[in-house]
Structure 1
């Protein structure tokens, strides 16, 4: 009986030790699981941040392209206005030159008429 009792007690001690080891392993695995879940949450957060940054950069790029196109159109309009005004100025200068020659000719005619 004693030998059977000692055997049973010894087996119970081994089983308790085995249970403690399994519980320690479960706790370690749970800690590892929690750590991995935290890492996963952090990675998902970083992915969301990167996606938002990418969307923002794309929006800024699109806005910059639109502004560049508007500036190009504005510069083109200013260039056309400059060309039109330059042509007008050339016409006015030609008219002024012609008027100056006509005025000089009229003065010469008046001068000859006054001498005669």
Structure 2
């Protein structure tokens, strides 16, 4: 029995594909961007700079990331800049005042 149709050859070697998630985990800032947002264009540029190859179409980047088990969704890991103590203080000190002020200004009844 003949094998089924074969897809196009992968752009990166298996070793490069194993290395790529680690590079992406470092975040865009480690690769010269000012924010922490990966885009397909940025991933493609990183691949080009690191490995000397690139995708002509961003959908190729998306398909490769999907095949590697990487997601375009927001990561579960919190931002490095996140300060849990400041957030807790805001929730307990500021938010109750803001919430009360909003109800009284709009004439809404206070909840008990």
Query: Normalising by structure 2, what TM-score?
Result: 0.24
Q: Does 1 or 2 have the higher relative contact order (CA < 8 Å, sep 6+)?
A: 2
Give the number of the structure whose alpha-carbon radius of gyration is greater: 1
Q: Which has the higher helix share?
A: 1
TM-score, scaled relative to structure 1? 0.23
